[in-house]
Amino acid sequence: MPELRHLRYFVAVAEELNFSRAAERLHMAQPPLSVAIRQLEQELGTSLFERTSREVRLTEAGLALLDGARRTLAEADAAVAAARRAATGEVGSLCIGYNWSARFDTLPALGRAFKRTHPDVELLAEEMRPNQMARALRAGAIDVALALYPEVVAGLTYQTIRREPIVALLSAAHPLARQDAVRLEALAGEFLMFPRELAPRLHDFYVGLCRRSGFEPKLSAESARSRWTIGTWEISTAALLPASVANDLPDGVVVVPITGTGEALEFQLAWRSDNHNPALAAFAALAERVFAPLAQV
Per-residue pLDDT of 247-272, as tens digits, reads 888 888 899 999 988 899 999 999 99
Give the architecture (CATH level 2) of 166-263: 3-Layer(aba) Sandwich (3.40)
DSSP reduced 3-state for 258: strand
The pLDDT assigned to 136 comes to 94
Domain 4-87 is found in CATH 1.10.260.40: no
Rounded mean pLDDT of 68-88?
Answer: 78
Measured distance CA(297)–CA(238) in Å, rounded? 21
Number of H helices, E strands in the chain: 9, 13
Of 281 and 78, more confident: 281
- Specify the domain boundaries for CATH 3.40.190.10 within the chain: 91-162+266-290, 166-263
- Specify the domain boundaries for CATH 1.10.10.10 within the chain: 4-87
Rounded mean pLDDT of 3-30?
Answer: 89
The pLDDT assigned to 3 comes to 83
The pLDDT assigned to 77 comes to 80
Give the pLDDT band of residue 296 (cuts 50, 70, 90).
Answer: very low
Give the pLDDT band of residue 295 (cuts 50, 70, 90).
Answer: very low
The pLDDT assigned to 297 comes to 41
Domain 91-162+266-290 is found in CATH 3.40.190.10: yes
Measured distance CA(48)–CA(63) in Å, rounded? 8
pLDDT > 70: what percent of the chain? Answer: 90
Give the pLDDT band of residue 81 (cuts 50, 70, 90).
Answer: confident
- Tell me the backbone φ, ψ of residue 55, rounded to 5 degrees: -155, 165
Rounded mean pLDDT of 176-186?
Answer: 93
Give kind and range of the element (H or E) at residue 58.
Answer: strand 56-58
Taking 90 as the threshold, does the pLDDT of residue 164 lie above it?
Answer: yes
Residues sharing a CB contact under 8 Å with residue 177, sequence separation 6 or more, in sequence order: 170, 171, 254, 256
- Give 90's DSSP letter: S
Task: Give how far Cα 129 sits from Cα of 37, 117, 190, 229, Å.
Answer: 64, 29, 24, 15
Kindly report, residue by residue over 118-135, the tens digit of the pLDDT: 888 889 999 998 899 999
The pLDDT assigned to 27 comes to 92
Measured distance CA(242)–CA(264) in Å, rounded? 8
